Structure 1
Amino acid sequence: MLLFLLSANFSDCFCAPQLEGHLDQTLVAQHLTKNQQRAYAELLKLRPEPARALLRTEQPRSAGTLLVADCIDFTELMISQDANRYAAVVQAQDERLATLAESPEPGPLRAYARAEIRLHQAAAQVAFEHEVQGAWSLRQAYQQMQATVKRYPDYLPARKTLGMMQFFIGALPEGYRWFLKLLGLAGSVEVGLQNLRVAAQRPNDFQTEAQIILALIHETYYKQGEESSRFIQQLTQQQSDNLLFAYLAISINKRLHHTDQALAAYRSRPSGAGYLPIAYLHHMVADLLLYQGQYAASQRENLLFLQEYRGTHYRKDAAFKLYLASWLSGDQASAERYRRQIDAAGRTVLEEDTYAQRFFDDQQPLNRTLTRARLQIDGGYYREALTTLESFATTAHTSLRDRLEAPYRRARAYHGLQQLDSARYFYARTVALAGDAPYYFAPQSALQLGYLYQMQGQTRLAKTYFQKALTYPKHEYKNSTDTKAKLALESIKQ
């Protein structure tokens, strides 16, 4: 289910039982067979065909074989985003679920496999625009996983998946409450983390998966990126032939603004026969090269991405980045062609695509100096960004957007340099200037001020700014900003 977390951006109704259960140990000891474990290990390396080959010697109707086989199909579908595979994958899931429903196989693995495959199906249905079916499948998966944990409280894989669902359902912004109520779902961030920690700390067939999910949550929502990065680096050192671990190293270093490390991880990634092609890697690397000002190389990578990718997400974002590379390199004809391409293809489900579409719709020209500074900051080149910003000056004709972006970029650069007094000053200036302007600079500034004051132990001020971040109307990054502010407020209460 790790690929569900990597590909999706989803009061507690489950009270976590104590670990000291009194179960029949023949049930508790039920695991994947050695061959099934090896197949799953190959899948975690993103080597689906070697994984399938290992399963061919296994009992085809056993719960472990059905589960790992479904993980293989699901991983290929979600990474490729190939709509031509969707119907066959869902049909195979239905057949596996029917086989498990009729199986006399006892123990927790069968119950877990049913709930896990149903959750795979929910993720696939939502990803391929069958949202109603996906919502119903999610409800079934959640209830089945709850029942599995209740019956087998010591079966840690079920705690891993239930904990993940509890966390993400509990973390959803308030705007989704009506949807959750309609489905009869309630999550809990605290209980979800508790279940994930248990599954991550104690040996089980899916312990590594639980550890990775927990590390990604800590990095994304709790400002523990360096710790999570070190953990991912340890994994890549232990398994240099693991493409998933290399992908995670690239991704987490990119989010932490460690461009050089991310590019090094990309260049040393394993490749060759058996590995699943990941078109999205080209898109990530295109961003990294854009941060460095390597515009032609960035264009080549995004064009490769658009050529190889089968999905509908990130297409608008790729066209926007192609526009930026052409525009910043002085190729106005290509820039205009890519600008029009933003509106021509793809969806606006993801925030990156929404931002690109808004740029197209607003028809408001970007400021070249601020854009260069933004890319330098995204790449972790903070001193260079401050040097770039020195050439920016407002005039009577400067747009409100640019007037807000300038102090925000300075705040981000000073924050990256750990010059926190200067960062706080420019974040506060952005908030004061913004009013109700429909841009993300002020809500992001409020969020960052909350983090800075929380780090200093000034919880009252931190709470004030987290709450303020939630008050801004719809902006490009509202969902992720609101989720982070909500989780930060919950952490203050604890």
Structure 2
Amino acid sequence: MAHPLASAHSPSGLRLLLGLLLVLLTTAAASPPQHDTAQAPETTSAAAGSLTPGLRRAYAELLKLRVEPARQLLQEEAKRAPGSAGTLLVADCIDFTELMIRQDASRYEAVVAAQDRRLAQLEKSREAGPLPAYARAEIRLHQAAAQVTYQHEIQGAWSLRQAYQQMQAVVKAYPDFLPARKTLGMCQFMIGSVPEGYRWFLKLLGLPGSVEAGVQNLRRAAQQPHDFQPEARIILALVQETYFKQGEESARLVQQLATQQPDNLLYSYLLLSLNKRLHRTDAALAAYRSRPTGAGYLPIPYLHHMAADLLLYQGQYAASGRANQQFLQDYPGVHYRKDAAFKLYLAAWLSGDDKTAERYRQQINQGGRTVVEEDAYAQRFFEGQLPLNRTLTRARLQIDGGYYRPALATLRGFSAATGPLRDRLEEPYRRARAYHGLGRLDSARLYYTRTIALAGKAPYYFGPQSALQMGYLCQADGQLNMARLYFQKALDSPKHEYKNSTDAKAKVALAGLPR
């Protein structure tokens, strides 16, 4: 029987929080570096907080998403020190990364049971230095993420609380142990950015969050040299791109990392993902096609799903369909299945194959869940009675791909005089995004404000997103009071398709404005 707290808003809020954490945890599962002990008298030596050379080699393979080679190297090390904190931590990083990327529910029970055994061993550890306590907190955080992902929200909430408090204790006892600052900073930031509607649940758990403190800890871990500085730099770069609109800096970092390690699948994944979010379709597809493949690499079906989006932006509908079919065939998880069916629908519908399109439309309702916003949007489309407009849909895809001039040309063929409100809102919003992408900011402002005025309290994302973008534009111009009004307007919007992510970005932006 479900716990009473598993209803209403609490699971959604926790899924939102952990969903944000998962992206970072699975791309940068923490490992302990060497550190300066000048301000941490409890640390007996630098080696007490470091991995052995063998564990470093295993972790280096994991960072490339070469799971089996990492396991083989770990087994060799485990023969020498099977119960050491470093061995237990790297073993958990391997299991956790595989579970979260593969999304194979059949592995969940075994992974959580192994985590419990590792935590029990660490409880009894007499090993000196920060590593045992840090490993406990990190493994507990992994467990929280896994529990929430696989629908054990109440256990996950308790595990998150334990992990957070334990990591705070590590930072207090060992203030120069940078991996702990990296993970604590990530948690502080993500909890601090959770929308107000879910804050009560986090307060109930005793989880204080702070965007400012989180960024400060992340920056300290990213800027100071230590063995695992790349992970801290990646997390900080993702935060800066997603919430602070610093995409160029993040792109340069990820490109540098991918160039330095062309055999690193994680860096290729990040390069693809970041270029996609920055609307650089050609660069994203180049990263997809040049990614390392072969024996030892962890299969990532989601890469095909991202490639399908990119091909859809280019109007390569048949190729997009093949990529999404491969994703659905190879992927054992439940997330993004509705979104993939929706994109298959779009590819067939825009190709003029209405019969196949209807089959894919029905497929949206036949599997998967609606935890992630993309799946929720697809389900909402299926349940809605209002058909999409082909012209606006083509323009949207072109804009998502960074093809702004073709999108404006497409929009010239649209007439909104007698259309439904949704279409009359979408048309100026798409124009605004296209002009924004072209750097024609006066035109972008004109159409954003037109969208906001027309939207009122309509349950669509065009108005709130326009308010968010206007906030960013005003902030860049130094119009801080206007920026504050627009960010608050985005927060005050009624429920819409992308309410969670829009609110989180607006909240972070407000927190960054001088008081």
- TM-score for the superposition, normalised by structure 1: 0.96
Q: Which of 8, 22, 26 matches 1:4?
A: 22
Tell me which amino acid in the other structure corresponds to 1:208. P
Deviates more, 1:252-261 or 1:47-56: 47-56
Distance in 1 (CA, whole Å) between partners of 2:99 and 2:40 is 40
Q: Which of 358, 367, 382 matches 2:380?
A: 358
- For residues 270-281 of structure 1, the aligned pairs below 5 Å read 270-281=292-303
Listed one character per residue, the Cα deviations across residues 127-152 of structure 1 (whole Å, up to 9, x for unaligned) are 10000000000000001101111111
Q: Which of 473, 487, 510 matches 1:466?
A: 487
Show structure 1 runs of 4+ deviating over 2 A: 1-9, 24-30, 203-206
Q: Is the 8 A contact 2:40 2:175 kept in 1?
A: no
Q: Which of 322, 327, 330 matches 1:300?
A: 322
Number of the residue aligned with 1:50: 69
Listed one character per residue, the Cα deviations across residues 430-484 of structure 1 (whole Å, up to 9, x for unaligned) are 0011111100000000000010011011111111111111111110000110111
The alignment of Structure 1 onto Structure 2 pairs a total of residues equal to 485
Q: Is the 8 A contact 1:246 1:266 kept in 2?
A: yes
Q: Which of 295, 304, 315 matches 2:337?
A: 315
Number of the residue aligned with 1:337: 359
Distance in 1 (CA, whole Å) between partners of 2:150 and 2:237 is 27
Distance in 2 (CA, whole Å) between partners of 1:239 and 1:8 is 19
Tell me which amino acid in the other structure corresponds to 2:465. Q
Number of the residue aligned with 2:31: none
Listed one character per residue, the Cα deviations across residues 124-177 of structure 1 (whole Å, up to 9, x for unaligned) are 000100000000000000011011111111111111111111110111110111
Distance in 2 (CA, whole Å) between partners of 1:140 and 1:6 is 19
- For residues 368-407 of structure 1, the aligned pairs below 5 Å read 368-396=390-418, 398-407=419-428
1:21 aligns with 2:21: no
Number of the residue aligned with 2:506: 485
Tell me which amino acid in the other structure corresponds to 2:285. L
Listed one character per residue, the Cα deviations across residues 26-58 of structure 1 (whole Å, up to 9, x for unaligned) are 344420111111111100000011111111222
Q: Is the 8 A contact 2:37 2:176 kept in 1?
A: yes
- For residues 36-185 of structure 1, the aligned pairs below 5 Å read 36-58=55-77, 59-185=81-207
Listed one character per residue, the Cα deviations across residues 350-397 of structure 1 (whole Å, up to 9, x for unaligned) are 11111111111112100000000000000000000000000001233x
Q: Which of 246, 250, 260 matches 1:224?
A: 246
Number of the residue aligned with 2:496: 475
Q: Cα gap change, 1:349/1:19 in structure 2, threshold over 3 Å: closer, same or farther?
A: farther
Tell me which amino acid in the other structure corresponds to 1:280. Y
Distance in 1 (CA, whole Å) between partners of 2:37 and 2:216 is 12
Number of the residue aligned with 2:431: 410
Distance in 2 (CA, whole Å) between partners of 1:326 and 1:355 is 18
Overall identity of the aligned pairs, in %: 72
What SS is found at the alignment partner of 1:79?
Answer: helix
Distance in 1 (CA, whole Å) between partners of 2:333 and 2:317 is 24
Q: Is the 8 A contact 1:323 1:334 kept in 2?
A: yes
Q: Is the 8 A contact 1:122 1:134 kept in 2?
A: yes
What SS is found at the alignment partner of 1:493?
Answer: coil
1:248 aligns with 2:284: no
- For residues 202-213 of structure 1, the aligned pairs below 5 Å read 202-213=224-235
Q: Is the 8 A contact 1:170 1:186 kept in 2?
A: yes
Tell me which amino acid in the other structure corresponds to 1:486. K
1:193 aligns with 2:193: no
1:260 aligns with 2:279: no
Q: Which of 53, 72, 76 matches 1:34?
A: 53
- How far off its partner does 1:22 sit? 4.6
Q: Is the 8 A contact 2:40 2:174 kept in 1?
A: no
Tell me which amino acid in the other structure corresponds to 1:376. Q
1:238 aligns with 2:260: yes
Distance in 2 (CA, whole Å) between partners of 1:258 and 1:411 is 18
Q: Cα gap change, 1:263/1:3 in structure 2, threshold over 3 Å: closer, same or farther?
A: farther
Distance in 2 (CA, whole Å) between partners of 1:5 and 1:119 is 13
> Unaligned regions of 5+ residues in structure 1, if any?
10-17
